[in-house]
Amino acid sequence: MRQQDEYYIGIDVAKTHLDIAVLSSGEHWTVANDDLGIGEVVNRLKQMQPVLIVLEATGGLEIPVSTALVYAKLPIVVINPRQVRDFAKATGQLAKTDKIDAKMLARFGKAVQPEPRPLKDTEAQRLDALVLRRRQLVDMLSMEKTRLTSAPKAIHSDITLHIRWLEKRLGDVNGKLEKLIQTSPVWQAKEELLQSVPGVGPVLSRTLLAGLPELGQLNRRQIASLVGVAPLNRDSGQYRGGRSIWGGRENVRSVLYMGTMVGIRFNPVIKAFYERLRAAGKTHKVAMVASMRKLLTILNVMVKTDTHWQMNTI
Question: Does 181 score more than 50 pLDDT?
Answer: yes
Question: Distance (Å, rounded) from C-alpha 174 to C-alpha 202?
Answer: 10
Task: Report if pTM > 0.75.
Answer: no
Q: Which of 112-116, 117-121, 168-172, 231-235 has the lowest mean pLDDT?
A: 231-235
Predicted pLDDT of residue 67:
72
DSSP state of 114: P
Question: Does 238 score more than 80 pLDDT?
Answer: no
Question: Distance (Å, rounded) from C-alpha 173 to C-alpha 177?
Answer: 6
For range 71-79, the mean pLDDT: 83
pLDDT band (50, 70, 90) for residue 230: confident
Predicted pLDDT of residue 41:
94
DSSP state of 133: H
Predicted pLDDT of residue 118:
55
For range 51-64, the mean pLDDT: 82
B/e letters for 241-272, b = 16+ CB within 10 Å, e = fewer, are: eeeebeeebebbbebbbebbebbbeebebbbe
Of residues 9, 121, 105, the one with CA closest to residue 63? 121
Predicted pLDDT of residue 312:
60
Predicted pLDDT of residue 211:
82
For the domain made up of 3-112, the CATH class stated in words is: alpha beta
Q: Which secondary-structure segment (H or E) carries 269? A: helix 268-279
CA 294 to each of CA 52, 97, 260, 273, 313: distance values in angstroms, whole numbers, following the listed order? 32, 44, 9, 8, 11
Question: Distance (Å, rounded) from C-alpha 38 to C-alpha 160?
Answer: 51
Q: Which of 47-61, 86-100, 146-160, 286-300 has the lowest mean pLDDT?
A: 86-100
Domain ranges in the chain are 3-112, 122-183, 210-305
Contacts 24+ apart (CB under 8 A), 94-101: 98/12, 98/14, 98/17, 98/19, 98/30, 99/12, 99/19, 99/21, 99/28, 101/10, 101/12, 101/19
At residue 12, φ and ψ (nearest 5 deg) are: -90, 125
Question: Does 277 score more than 70 pLDDT?
Answer: yes
Of residues 223, 205, 204, the one with CA closest to residue 294? 223
Question: Distance (Å, rounded) from C-alpha 132 to C-alpha 207?
Answer: 9
Predicted pLDDT of residue 4:
47
Average pLDDT, the chain: 85
Q: What is the pLDDT of residues 6-21, one digit of tens each?
A: 899 999 999 899 999 9
Question: Does 237 score more than 70 pLDDT?
Answer: no
